[in-house]
Amino acid sequence: MLERVRARIPFELVEEDIRASPTLLAAYRYDIPVVIFEGIATFKHRLREEEVEECLRRGASGTHVAESKGQGK
């Protein structure tokens, strides 16, 4: 799904295996998958394509990016 969005809105995607980092494992063990955008855990558990695209568009326009509905830290 992220690759489809990336085809429309280019962005850098970095995948990390949280098992390789005790810090990441402690922080996100129960929140996989997690998408961190501009330092904020913006999406957890489920990703909706339209929400990811909206987040990227707001970020590209300089608009503050808040957490997605239902996606708390």
Tell me what the mean pLDDT of segment 33-42 comes to.
87
Tell me what the mean pLDDT of segment 38-65 comes to.
82
Q: Which two tokens stand for residue 62?
A: 């300089």
For residue 12, what pLDDT is reported? Answer: 87
In this prediction the pTM is 0.65
Contacts of 71 (CB under 8 A, 6+ apart): 42, 43, 44, 45
Helices (H), 9-42: 22-28
Contacts of 8 (CB under 8 A, 6+ apart): 53
State phi, psi for 52 to the nearest 5 degrees.
Answer: -65, -45
Inform me whether the pLDDT recorded for 35 exceeds 80: yes
Q: Are 12 and 59 in contact (CB under 8 A)?
A: no
Inform me whether the pLDDT recorded for 66 exceeds 60: no
